[in-house]
């Protein structure tokens, strides 16, 4: 049976890992360490402190906020 393709914010994860050279779990941990915080404040943190593009930062933050335990 073929693997199910990731949907939503998780669909960006392979590209994020390839582009920024860190596993998604590390990015998620960085975001979780700053919670509670507003969504856009977390996105701005990833963009300014780590040079991440808006779409990638938004995908990580959206996933963390929707799935705080993943």
pTM: 0.89
Give the per-residue pLDDT at 70. Answer: 64
Q: What residue numbers bound the domain in which 45 lies?
A: 9-66
Count up the domains in the chain and report the number.
1
Give the per-residue pLDDT at 13. Answer: 97
Would residue 3 count as lying in a domain?
no
Q: Would you tell me how many other CB atoms lie within 10 Å of the CB of residue 62?
A: 17
Would residue 28 count as lying in a domain?
yes
Residue carrying the six token digits 């393709």: 5
Would residue 4 count as lying in a domain?
no
Distances (CA, A) of 11 to 6, 29, 34: 5, 18, 23
pLDDT by residue (tens digit) across 27-58?
A: 999 999 999 999 999 999 999 999 999 999 99
Alpha-carbon gap, residue 34 to 5, rounded angstroms? 29
Positive or negative CA dihedral for 34, 48, 25, 9? Answer: positive
Q: What are phi and psi of 36, to 5 degrees?
A: -80, 145
Would residue 38 count as lying in a domain?
yes
Would residue 29 count as lying in a domain?
yes
Give the per-residue pLDDT at 68. Answer: 79
1 pLDDT higher than 60: no
């Amino acid at each position: 049976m073929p693997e199910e393709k990731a949907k939503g914010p998780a669909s960006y994860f392979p590209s994020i890992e390839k582009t920024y050279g860190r596993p998604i779990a590390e990015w998620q941990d960085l975001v979780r360490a700053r919670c509670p915080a507003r969504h856009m404040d977390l996105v701005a943190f990833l963009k300014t402190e780590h040079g991440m593009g808006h779409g990638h930062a938004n995908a990580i933050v959206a996933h963390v906020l929707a799935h705080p335990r993943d």
